[in-house]
Amino acid sequence: MAETELSERAQTLLKVLVERHIRDGQPVGSSTLREEAGLPVSAATIRNVMSDLEERGFLHSPHTSAGRVPTSAGYRLFVDSLLQVQPLDDHSLSNLRLELNPDKTAGELVQSASSLLSTITAQAGIVTVPKVESNQLRQVEFLPLSGNRVLVILVINEREVQNRIIHTDRPFTEEQLRAAALMVNQRFAGHELTAVKAGLVSEMQQARSRIDNYLSDALDLANRALDADDSDEQYVMAGESRLLDGATAEEVLKLRELFDAFEQKKDILHLLERCSRADGIQIFIGEEAGYEVFGDYSVVTAPYSDGMRTLGVLGVIGPTRMAYERVIPIVDVTARMLSSALAK
């Protein structure tokens, strides 16, 4: 229903009811609503207005209570027409500026952004990994660790440095690892990672057929390092456990389904892909996301870029009764600051 179809009194009562429900998660009764709204009307008038809002689909009555809670349509009207967005506080702004600085790599910025979104909003923060045109291997180093473990240092593209640990079938000396890295760099530095992986498999087969154990070991080390590559990760999420904070018993049960969706990724990735094609803030409330698992949750997103093209999308996932007045500006400012840091 359009906002203009509701009287000013009905809009005030809906706004107060939504804000109260966001605050404590419980159904709101007419006496509580009358007291909080401060309107000079009778309890009967309040009940009539609430009944009308329920008939219009903005509220519904849980079976266990005489009070009412907002529907997705009620939240949508609240967010679109009744919400008063709060400016970001100085402390949060300082944290964003400190953590989202251009000196960090793209991977570090994504991790920082997801953690900041979660910490500041007390919800789950999510950031898709930037889309890159290509990934080139610049250099690889192998360093021995205790046991049959090797520290791999990969330099990707111009500045991206990735460290990972691989487990080998036997120990290697520092000299052997240095020679292996030299061989791999001479053969594959400057090539696309996908081409490097294919080349490693091919050359390993040839080395084994020639019983060239030294070359085979070097290629196997590089192959294990790239197999451990996490560049195929499609999004970074932080703070899933925060969704349990303040959740009702019923909400905890429904969270299990949402956590399963986080594991499977497919539905979330489809939703984030839709968001990345849109401009500015996108808000999906409950079933608006198009997936049943999001029925009691909202997703607030914004795309981020490098100044020339959209690289991905970031956002917050939380219950429909999230504090939208805080979450929306936080998502917006974080997207702008991440874009600025990546435009380097």
- DSSP letters for 270-305: HHHHHHHTS-S-EEEEGGGGS-GGGTTEEEEEEEEE
% of the chain at pLDDT higher than 90: 37
For residues 259-281, give the mean pLDDT.
82
**For residue 129, what pLDDT is reported?**
86
Pick 124 or 270 by higher pLDDT.
Answer: 124
Whether 134 shows a pLDDT value over 80: the answer reads: no
Q: How far apart are CA 296 and CA 318, in angstroms?
A: 9
- Choose among 312, 321, 323: nearest CA to 334: 312
| pLDDT value at residue 231 | 47
| Segment 44-85, tens digit of pLDDT | 899 999 999 999 999 998 876 678 999 999 999 999 999 988
- Asked if 317 contacts 266 with a C-beta cutoff of 8 angstroms, the reply is no
Average pLDDT value for residue range 174-200 = 86
**What pLDDT is recorded for position 308?**
84
Instruction: Kindly state the average pLDDT of the residues 121-134.
Output: 84
The sign one gets for the Cα dihedral 33, 35, 41, 47 is: positive
As a whole number, mean pLDDT of residues 111-131 equals 92
Distance CA 335, CA 291 (A): 25
pTM greater than the 0.75 cutoff: no
Higher pLDDT, 302 or 263: 302
Judge whether 22 and 323 are in contact, CB under 8 Å: yes
Average pLDDT of the chain, as a whole number: 86
Domains in the chain with CATH codes? 3-82 (1.10.10.10), 90-132+233-342 (3.30.450.40), 137-227 (3.30.390)
pLDDT at 1 over 50: no
Question: DSSP 3-state assignment of 74?
Answer: helix
Render pLDDT for 88-97 as a digit per residue (tens, 0 to 9).
Answer: 999 999 999 9
Q: Indicate whether 316 pLDDT > 90.
A: yes
The pLDDT, as a whole number, for residue 166 is 85
